[in-house]
A and B are shown apart, each in its own frame.
Chain A
Amino acid sequence: MIRLVRAEFLKLRTTQVWFWLLLAAIAVTALLVVAQLAPHDGVRSEDDVYSVFTSSGTAYVVVFVLGVLGVTTEYRYETITPTVLATPSRWALVTAKMITYALLGAGYALVCVIVQLAMALPWLASKNIDVSLTSNHIPAALLGVFLVVMLFGIVGLGVGALIRNQIVAVSVGVVFLLVIQNILPAIPGVKYAFPYTPGGAVAAIFTVVGSRDVNGATLFTPVGGVVVLLLWAFVPAILGAKFTLTRDIT
């Protein structure tokens, strides 16, 4: 299994997509930190600090995209044939990919967390807001970032395995994550579905403090959010492994 994971990492390293998407994740994290700290009515007291430290969680979108590409690229360029010739067991292949993309998510999360800490800690200090890494629920925020970004790598794999067409899978996934699920709470009737969406799960995980009410729909607890996200990660990946990867490769 270790050599399969290393082969998957080698696949990632030998094209440049990972690099550009890592830059994108860093840029978005930095922008979010700036957006929260720069305005005059932004972070003013210790109570406002928590959400600054969830900024790096947005890296989940790019890791999701990488996960989708991790499966769909194999089909697009037909590298699935040599991949399966080397590893005939589809379950071994899927397990290796899940481990790889979870580890990849951890790496992206680590880089983005470092960026966020390097920006936020000195900035907060300059505003005379006293913050330590163990205060203000910051450990919960950072743990949440790692969990979210790691699991979204697996969510991406599952979506990629179920949709297979690269352009469709990436567009549908990104539009759903960034647009559709975020307007759900504004729609009467379907807003109660929001807590069950991946975005609802992320919101729950990052709501350690404050109200869990989103426009009348109630988010799960952070632990409940993790459970929902685990389902989003593993159910599509297992279905994809069972129904897509075992299909004939012609």
Chain B
Amino acid sequence: MTETGVGTASQDGRIVVDDLTKVFRGNIRAVDRLSFTVEPGSVTGFLGPNGAGKTTTLRMLLGLVHPTSGRATIGGLDYGQIHGPLGVVGAALESSGFHPARTGRNHLRIQCQAAGFPDQNADTALGLVGLGEAGKRKVRGYSLGMRQRLSLAAALLGNPRVLILDEPANGLDPDGIRWQRGFFRHMASEGRTVLVSSHQLNEVQEIADRVVILNRGQLVRSGSIAELRAGSDAVQVRTPNPDPLLAGLAEAGARAEQTGPGTLRITGLPIEQVGHLAFVHGVELHELQPENFNLEQLFFALTQEGAPGPGLQAIDAGGKR
């Protein structure tokens, strides 16, 4: 029964969130007309500040919270329609869903029993996340990091095609984070869908191929890291004579802002062309260097002003060139 439940419609592990809205009691609009898709074979980072609606969205995707309107499907099906869901979707939502007096292994055995998997799956999953012997201890004595590993083990019980993980790196030590990074990449390379919510942006930049950025329940931006990078790469220039260069840049359609006396920040033009323009205009350069892409910076630009903010427009304009 290990491989049960992968219905034909669920073979495709695509996640589709379509015009999803959740209004909680008290007229709290946690998720507001949200649409995005998550493709198999990739790690997708699901980002947003606290209270952005990430967890509510994931819970709607898993049939735990009922949408006010719209739909969220996995492989074209609502979670509740998936036959043998643990064999298709593995979810680790938070580290607290354990009875403290139960051992980690028994927690997993209960899930196996309910899903019709043999107990052996529990031991395999414990081994995969590095809990092994610790699985025989009561959860009461687990550290936060161990609980995270147990959550992940529960998600892996049915060898699922789709992994949905809410802040999985919380409480992990650097070793654990590095291990997890490799693990998610490996899962995606096998063609699985991996959706990881996080607020640890540098971590997401390391592991994710794509990101979905959420703020106040609304989609701010989604796309591949490469796309975001293309729109936000900037070049820093220091020169004693900026004016001829500024004129040349304007002609070439690039955007330049003066960030200090003699220093410019240029977007919309590759670094080689900036260097070439300086050469043909006879401008002496003391510095010409790329400004490293920083998801964190982009994230704050996108989320601080609400959505869609001025930061977004600037990046979109850049992306179109």
Contacts and interface: CB of A to CB of B under 8 A. Distances in A.
Interface of A: 3-4, 6-7, 10-11, 14-16, 73, 77-89, 248-250
B96 A249 contact: no
Interface string B151-169: 0001000000000000000
B103 A14 contact: yes
A84 B114 contact: no
A190 B86 CA distance: 52
| Closest 10 pairs between A and B when the two form their complex, measured CB to CB | A7-B114, A7-B113, A86-B114, A14-B106, A88-B80, A249-B64, A248-B65, A78-B97, A15-B101, A81-B97
Interface string B90-113: 010110111111110011011101
Given A3-B116, A10-B106, A82 B111 contact: yes
A250 B114 contact: no
B99 A10 contact: no
A249 B113 contact: no
Contacts of B64: 81, 84-85, 248-250
Contacts of A78: 94, 96-97
Nearest to A80: B97
A250 to B, nearest CB: 6
A6 B85 CA distance: 18
Contacts of A16: 101
11 contacts: A3-B116, A11-B110, A16-B101, A77-B97, A77-B98, A77-B100, A84-B64, A88-B79, A88-B80, A248-B65, A250-B65
Nearest to A87: B114
A10 B96 contact: no
A81 B116 CA distance: 18
B66 interface: yes
Given A10-B106, A89-B80, A3 B113 contact: yes
Contacts of A86: 85-86, 111, 114-115
A86 to B, nearest CB: 4
A87 B91 CA distance: 13
B99 A88 contact: no
Given A3-B116, A15-B101, A248-B66, 5 more contacts: A3-B114, A4-B114, A81-B94, A88-B63, A248-B59
B62 interface: yes
Among B82, B96, B97, residue most surrounded by chain A Cβ atoms (within 10 Å): B97
B76 to A, nearest CB: 16
Contacts of B65: 248-250
Contacts of A73: 99
B102 A14 contact: yes
Nearest to B101: A15
Contact of A82 (B100, B106, B154): B154
B56 interface: yes
Contacts of B98: 77, 79
A3 B119 CA distance: 13
Interface string B32-76: 000000000000000000000000100100111110000000000
B94 to A, nearest CB: 7
Given A3-B114, A15-B102, A248-B66, A88 B85 contact: yes
Contact of B97 (A79, A248, A250): A79
Nearest to B112: A7
A10 B103 CA distance: 12
Contacts of A83: 114
Nearest to A86: B114
A70 to B, nearest CB: 12
A6 B99 contact: no
Nearest to A90: B80
Contacts of A249: 59, 64-65
Contacts of A248: 24, 59, 64-66
Contacts of A7: 110-111, 113-114
A73 B98 CA distance: 10
Given A15-B101, A15-B102, A84 B96 contact: no
Contacts of A77: 96-100
A231 B294 CA distance: 63
Contacts of A88: 63, 79-80, 82, 85
A6 B62 CA distance: 24
Nearest to A246: B66
A250 B154 contact: no
A250 B56 contact: yes
A78 B24 CA distance: 20
Contacts of A80: 97
B63 A84 contact: yes
